[in-house]
Amino acid sequence: MIKINRIYTRTGDTGTTSLVRGPRRPKYDLRVEAYGTVDEANASIGAARIHTGSMPKVDMLLGRIQNDLFDVGSDLATPGLDEPDAQYPSLRIRPVQTEFLEKQIDHYNADLAPLTSFVLPAGSPLAAALHVARTVTRRAERIAVELAAAEADTSPETVRYLNRLSDLLFVLARVANGNGARDVLWIPGNHGDLKKGG
């Protein structure tokens, strides 16, 4: 059980922060950027859930994902490897959590209308919010990939999880647009109502 009594500690006033283990790091450190961006993705999903009133199953799924993202953040905030006989192993994202996302992608994608073009991040309020969450998750994935290249002890499962999550959020955005029927499609070279010479 985690117990948090104080909101501010003043320990970060020097521009550094604590990880789960190891020395303090600057707040611009790549590992801090990675788990901080996962936190942004989580907050974006929370904002999307404001619009899930008519889709309780999607809301429940997003709630589970928000919990899993705390696991991802903890994993990224924990450099180094556990000792083989560690009494309290570090919290790591597990393959079963990534596999759960894959099953959800397959389930929700099965009923979607086939795509005939790229989808614009638009449509219903829920779809638009899920697209925002998707793009933040993609950014978190890119940073996690960069971190893995810089620090070999970074869990590769964090990258896989974030990759599948962004795919699922794309699929759920289409679900929120009437299973793709109300998707807003990209029209290459479309200039709308712009007038010549304007």
Domain-located, residue 13: no
Domain-located, residue 86: no
Contact 27, 17 (CB under 8 A): yes
Please tell me the predicted confidence (pLDDT) of residue 139. 98
Domain-located, residue 105: yes
Cα gap 150→163, rounded to integer Å = 19
Predicted confidence (pLDDT) per residue in 102-146, tens digit: 999 999 999 998 888 899 999 999 999 999 999 999 999 999 999
Expressed as residue numbers, the domain containing 70 is 19-80+92-176
Please tell me the predicted confidence (pLDDT) of residue 6. 58
CA distances from 119 to 156, 177, 178, 190 (A): 29, 11, 14, 14
Rounded to two decimals, the pTM is 0.87
Q: Please give the residue that has the higher pLDDT: either 194 or 148.
A: 148
- Angle in degrees, CA 143, 4, 165, rounded to 5: 30
Count other C-beta atoms under 10 Å from residue 28's C-beta. 9
Q: Please give the residue that has the higher pLDDT: either 45 or 3.
A: 45
In this prediction, residues 46-74 reach a mean pLDDT of 97
In this prediction, residues 19-29 reach a mean pLDDT of 66
Domain-located, residue 157: yes
Please tell me the predicted confidence (pLDDT) of residue 115. 87
Structural domain count of the chain? 1
pLDDT confidence of 20, banded at 50, 70, 90? low
Domain-located, residue 187: no
pLDDT(10) > 60: no
Look up tokens 């990258």; give the residue.
159
**Domain at 171, CATH number:** 1.20.1200.10
Coil/strand/helix, residue 2: coil
Count other C-beta atoms under 10 Å from residue 154's C-beta. 22
Helix axes 95-109, 156-176, angle to 10 degrees: 20
Look up tokens 């309290």; give the residue.
88
Nearest to 158 by CA among 44, 79, 43: 79
Please tell me the predicted confidence (pLDDT) of residue 85. 64
Cα gap 27→14, rounded to integer Å = 9
Domain-located, residue 11: no
